[in-house]
Structure 1
Amino acid sequence: ADLDDVAQEVFLVVHRRLVDFEGRSTLRTWLYGICLKVASSHRRRVERRREAGLAEAPEEPVSGGQQSALERAEARRRMLLVLQDLDEEQREVFVLYEIERLAMKDVAELLECPLQTAYYRHQTARKKVIEAYQRMAAEEEL
Structure 2
Amino acid sequence: MIRLFPWAARGSPPSAVERPLDVVAVHAEYADFVFRSLQRLGVRPPDLEDLSQEVFVVVHKRLHTFDTASPMQAWLFGICKNIVARHRQRAYVRRETTAIPPPETSSEGIQPTPEESLATKQARAELEELLRELDPVKCVVFVMFEIEQMGCEEIAKELGVPVGTVHSRLHKARKAFEKALARRQARLSRGRRR
- Relative to the length of structure 1, the TM-score reads 0.63
Q: Distance in 2 between matches of 1:105 and 1:111?
A: 10
How far apart are 1:70 and its partner, in Å? 1.9
RMSD value over aligned CA atoms?
3.5
2:88 & 2:141 partners in 1: Cα distance? 25
Give, in angstroms, the shift of residue 127 of structure 1.
Answer: 0.9
Give 1:23's aligned residue: none
Amino acid at match of 2:94: E
Partner of 1:48: 87
Equivalent position of 2:95 in the other structure = 57
Gaps (5+ residues) in structure 1? Answer: 1-11, 18-29
- 1:38–1:133 distance in 2 versus 1, CA, 3 Å: closer
Identity %: 23
* Post-superposition CA distance 1:31-87 (Å, at most 9, x none): 87454346464484696388265x521359699x82222221111111111111112
Calculate the TM-score normalised by the size of structure 2.
Answer: 0.48
Aligned pairs (5 A) from 1:1-142: 16-17=28-29, 33-37=33-37, 39=39, 41-42=51-52, 44=83, 48=87, 51=90, 56-58=94-96, 66-142=114-190
Deviating more after overlay: 33-42 vs 87-96:
33-42
Q: Which stretch shifts more, 100-109 or 39-48?
A: 39-48
Q: Rate the CA distance shift 1:49–1:67 in 2: closer, same or farther, 3 A.
A: same
CA distance in 2, matches of 1:124, 1:52: 26
Deviating above 6 A after TM superposition, structure 1's stretches of 4 or more consecutive aligned residues are 12-15, 60-63
Distance (whole Å) between structure 1 residues aligned to residue 188 and residue 38 of structure 2? 36
- 2-structure distance, mates of 1:130, 1:49: 23
Report if aligned partners of 2:138, 2:172 keep a CA contact under 8 Å in 1: yes
**d(CA) in 1 for partners of 2:137 and 2:84?**
17
SS at match of 2:149: coil
Give the structure 2 partner of residue 3 of structure 1. none
Separation in 2 of the partners of 1:52 and 1:138? 27
Aligned pair count reads 117
